Amino acid sequence: MDSIKVFSPGSVTNLSCGYDILGFCLDKVGDTITVTKTSEKGIKISSIDKYNLPTNINQNVAGIAAQAMIKDIKLDYGFDIKIKKGIKPGSGIGSSAASSAGVVFAINKLIDYPFSDLELIRFAMEGEKFVSGSYHADNVSPILLGGFTLVRSVKDLDIIKLPNPKGLIATIIRPEIEIKTSDSRKVVKSKVTIDKMVQQSANLAAFISSLYTEDYDLMSNSIVDEIIEPDRAILIPEFYNIKDISIKSGAIACGISGSGPAIFALSKNNKIANDILNKMSSHFNSVNISYNGFVSIINSEGVKVID
């Protein structure tokens, strides 16, 4: 095989109670990446269709992840990368992760799978470090493993795949502003009180339990964030109104997706998820804020080969 085309989806992370450790994979919205073997060694990014992203491999997450991957293996060929961006950078649904995870997944197939999923997560995380300033695998893990994932440790690379309850649907809405992950991380306070730590641990544990038992009341009570959300909400126009609308319209929960500005809501079925999208959209229309919204299943498969 000399060339491969993959679809690398977006992802929603943190889920309010799991900053930097929880995430799930979206469906349909994502990057389409073509990687072709070249006689010239090394990595080249020959095209990125939009958003003025750098094609210099040392300044692009995909180039950085790909270089981390091939640096210790002997190959007598190289790779050309073409990326069609389906996710706007700075949107909160894992734009950089989709590119870095998609590229390492594609190269691994072209070189006959020498690397495990966990090793791919480690390489993709190099791209995340480059854009955000810190190692976090909460976006790249659900893209590479599918469904919901929990990152117990990035140092030991201990990633746990969680159950994906049937029927659970996400609504995503993103006001048309860009928030850089690095900026959004700067507003998060570095200290937390012991009572908040205890509550957040309890919420996280309860959320994990709710995925196993499909107990949506417990899920609703546990997708709560008293630590990060108050700091970041000020960056996102209408956040609390949108959250209020979602909950009143029957969402199980609603919160900031990743580092924002996207907002996610989880619902028990497609009808509620679409109703929430309509109501969120009406609200943004009424206050003259441009937005982009969609409804998505939780994608169990993750990144996949399309050609």
Catalytic residues: 128, 181
Q: Give the whole-angstrom CA distance, residue 6 versus residue 219.
A: 33
Q: Single out the segment in contact with ligand HSE by CB under 6 A; choices: 28-36, 46-54, 119-127, 178-186.
A: 178-186
Q: Single out the segment in contact with ligand HSE by CB under 6 A; choices: 59-67, 130-138, 264-272, 276-284.
A: 130-138
Q: Single out the segment in contact with ligand HSE by CB under 6 A; choices: 113-121, 134-142, 172-180, 284-292.
A: 134-142
- Residue (of 244, 237, 287) closest to 262 by Cα position: 237
Nearer Cβ to ligand HSE (28/186): 186
Residue 298 dihedral angles phi and psi, to the nearest 5°: -85, 115
Interface residue with ligand HSE among 27, 31, 138, 229 (CB under 6 A) is: 138
- Residue (of 12, 4, 306, 33) closest to 141 by Cα position: 12
Between 210 and 239, how does the x/- string for binding to ligand HSE read (CB under 6 A)? ------------------------------
101 and 143 in contact (C-beta within 8 Å)? yes
Q: Give the whole-angstrom CA distance, residue 204 versus residue 223.
A: 8
CB of 18 to ligand HSE, least distance (A): 9
Interface residue with ligand HSE among 7, 10, 13, 91 (CB under 6 A) is: 13
Q: Single out the segment in contact with ligand HSE by CB under 6 A; choices: 25-33, 136-144, 168-176, 191-199.
A: 136-144
Does residue 299 interact with ligand HSE by CB under 6 A?
no
- Residues in Cβ contact with 21 at an 8 Å cutoff, skipping those fewer than 6 apart: 138, 150, 151, 152, 204
CB of 301 to ligand HSE, least distance (A): 21
- Residue (of 302, 225, 223, 219) closest to 268 by Cα position: 219
Q: Name residue 228's amino acid.
A: I
Does residue 139 interact with ligand HSE by CB under 6 A?
yes
Nearer Cβ to ligand HSE (24/79): 24
Here the tokens at position 65 are: 């992840």
CB of 8 to ligand HSE, least distance (A): 15
Does residue 136 interact with ligand HSE by CB under 6 A?
yes
Nearer Cβ to ligand HSE (228/266): 228
Rounding to the nearest 10 degrees, give the CA dihedral for residues 216, 258, 113, 70.
-170
- Residues in Cβ contact with 4 at an 8 Å cutoff, skipping those fewer than 6 apart: 34, 35, 106, 109, 110, 305, 307
- DSSP conformational letter for 153: E
Nearer Cβ to ligand HSE (92/146): 92
CB of 19 to ligand HSE, least distance (A): 6
CA 85 to chain centre: 14
Q: Give the whole-angstrom CA distance, residue 62 versus residue 98.
A: 9
- Between helix 117-132 and helix 95-110 the angle, nearest 10°, is 140
Does residue 181 interact with ligand HSE by CB under 6 A?
yes
Q: Give the whole-angstrom CA distance, residue 140 versus residue 99.
A: 9
Instruction: Count interface residues toward ligand HSE (CB under 6 A).
Output: 12
If you search the block for the tokens 């998060």, which residue do you land on? 188
Q: Which of residues 249-288 bind ligand HSE (CB under 6 A)?
A: 258-259
Q: Single out the segment in contact with ligand HSE by CB under 6 A; choices: 38-46, 180-188, 212-220, 268-276.
A: 180-188
Kindly list the residues in this chain that would bind ligand HSE in the complex (CB under 6 A): 13-14, 20, 132, 136, 138-139, 181, 184-185, 258-259
